[in-house]
């Protein structure tokens, strides 16, 4: 146990353990963070059978923190009111066309049009060379 020598197993588990439990709350939402107990966070699933799959990314993120020796500090941040997961909030991208800049929208549209035109040209060329609807790359 190295650095935890002399500590009780319950104290070590409370310091570096995290319990992912079923809850209707979002993945990583803090449910309970009392001193002397493992931090409880939402697994992001409301059925116990789904918790492992739903919390997979958060669990491995926490395991990586533990491997780097940061599990205790991560749990202390949660006890102080910080986020359990993700460590950094993801960027907020607008999913509507109103959030796109005109240049980026025009560029995307142009790229899609060029791709469509290239595919059409390839089909015409294939038809001109092989005639009809021959499948390229298939040998009789």
Distances (CA, A) of 17 to 25, 51, 66, 105, 106: 20, 17, 9, 46, 50
H/E element, 124? helix 102-130
Distance CA(124)–CA(46), nearest Å, equals 54
User: Domain locations in the chain?
Assistant: 2-79, 98-130
Task: Return the pLDDT at 87.
Answer: 67
CB neighbour burial string for 82-115, b if at least 16 within 10 angstroms, e if fewer: eebbeeeeeeeeeeeeeeeeeeeeeeeeeeeeee
Tokens, residue 51:
């918790």
Task: Return the pLDDT at 82.
Answer: 87
Looking up tokens 């999913």 gives 95
Per-residue pLDDT of the chain (140 residues; tens, 9 = 90+): 567 788 899 999 999 999 999 999 999 999 999 999 999 999 999 999 999 999 999 999 999 999 999 999 999 999 999 888 876 655 665 455 455 455 544 555 555 555 566 666 666 666 667 665 555 454 55
Distance CA(52)–CA(20), nearest Å, equals 8
Distance CA(73)–CA(119), nearest Å, equals 54
């Amino acid at each position: 146990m190295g650095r935890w020598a002399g500590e009780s197993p319950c104290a070590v588990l409370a310091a570096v353990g995290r319990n992912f439990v079923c809850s209707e709350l979002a993945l990583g939402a803090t449910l309970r963070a009392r001193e002397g107990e493992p931090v409880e966070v939402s697994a992001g699933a409301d059925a116990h059978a789904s918790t492992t799959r739903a919390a997979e990314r958060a669990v491995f993120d926490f395991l990586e923190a533990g491997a780097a020796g940061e599990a205790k500090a991560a749990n202390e941040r949660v006890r102080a009111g910080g986020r359990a997961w993700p460590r950094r909030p993801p960027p907020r991208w607008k999913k509507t066309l109103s959030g796109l800049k005109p240049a980026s929208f025009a560029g995307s549209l142009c790229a899609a049009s060029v791709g469509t035109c290239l595919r059409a040209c390839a089909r015409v060329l294939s038809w001109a060379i092989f005639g009809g609807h021959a499948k390229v790359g298939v040998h009789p």
